[in-house]
Amino acid sequence: MRDNTVEVGTGPLTPAEILAVARGGAGVRLSVAAEHEMAAGRKVVESLADDVEPHYGISTGFGALAVRHIPVDRRAQLQRSLVRSHAAGSGPEVEREVVRALMLLRLSTLATGRTGVRAETAQVYAAMLTAGITPVVREYGSLGCSGDLAPLAHCALAAMGEGEVRDRSGVLRPAAGALADAGITPVVLVEKEGLALINGTDGMLGMLVLACHDLRTALRTADVVAAMSVEAQLGTDAAFAADLQALRPHPGQADSAANLRALLAGSGIMESHRTPDCTRVQDAYSLRCAPQVHGAARDTVAHAEAVAGRELASAVDNPVVTADGRVESNGNFHGAPLAYVLDFLAIAVATSRR
């Protein structure tokens, strides 16, 4: 990141870059390498547009209409209609930081060149993020098993100059006016682009990255609270000894116990239990088990971060343009890998509350 701007290239974004854009308001630009890969991917799509063989999302309809040939003069309308029909979310607005993360992550996939989207279409997303224009996305509507279709469709709709957005000041406005004021020309979708803009797991992934960051802070805080509780109840740190933790070698447990020992180091109360006069047998269950509970949550977060890391390195779309120039259908848009681990995190957070 340079000059408060995150450069989106052909490789994965880092959690720090996502946080900078989602929460820090950093601008976004595409790398030269990304533009090159997108041009190459688009060339493959265009070479298939007039092929007599059907190619899903390029010369055909979607879903049950995959076998229906779409005339060239109706393909732009098809892509536009796809976005409009899926922009059907309801309920409260999704948080601004989540929508910004979602848009950035979709842009990251577009930048790989695996979606066949034009560079100028991707540039609209980068320009919207830089201008602080955030599409209004509703909380309910994501299908999950087919990715974040509805949330992503609301973002694509705004890029088309339709729907509602919030500007940098948070004012609710029609997308057309906000784009015009920012000097951004709305995108006119062509073959494959509507499909590529809504076929991803970026909402789930954005929330996962933000949650992992926040939980790391929460877990450090939980250890501090536990240490204060031990002192307040005149407890001992004996149960946190490294050799006792090694008998059950979960890494998170060892880390939490080490943190508790460091926090309690030098405490007069801890020292008082090391004298021959101490008659204490053991502390309350809630104190002794702090490393086990906090550690299990730490291990859950570590697993979630590993899943997030793999997803950040992914190009999620259907169909995809392969590196050797094929266009292939696949099931990589399914949200199960992220949905499962998000539920796992929710369990860990709920049961780790003291």
Q: Which residues does 220 contact at the CB level (< 8 Å), separation at least 6?
A: 259
| Alpha carbon distances (Å) from 76 to 80, 97, 220 | 6, 31, 51
How many whole angstroms separate alpha carbon 317 and alpha carbon 106? Answer: 10
How many whole angstroms separate alpha carbon 143 and alpha carbon 81? Answer: 18
- Per the document, the length of the chain is 354
Q: Which of 56, 125, 140, 340 is catalytic?
A: 56
Query: How many CA within 13 A on the CB side of residue 57?
Result: 24
DSSP letter string over 324-342? TS-EE--STT--HHHHHHH
Active site residue 125: no
Exposed / middle / buried, residue 116 (Cβ in 10 Å: 0-12, 13-18, 19+): buried
**Integer distance in angstroms from the first to the last C-alpha of the chain?**
38
200 close to 109: Cβ distance less than 8 angstroms: yes
How many whole angstroms separate alpha carbon 304 and alpha carbon 215? Answer: 11
How many whole angstroms separate alpha carbon 82 and alpha carbon 191? Answer: 11
Catalytic residue ranges: 56
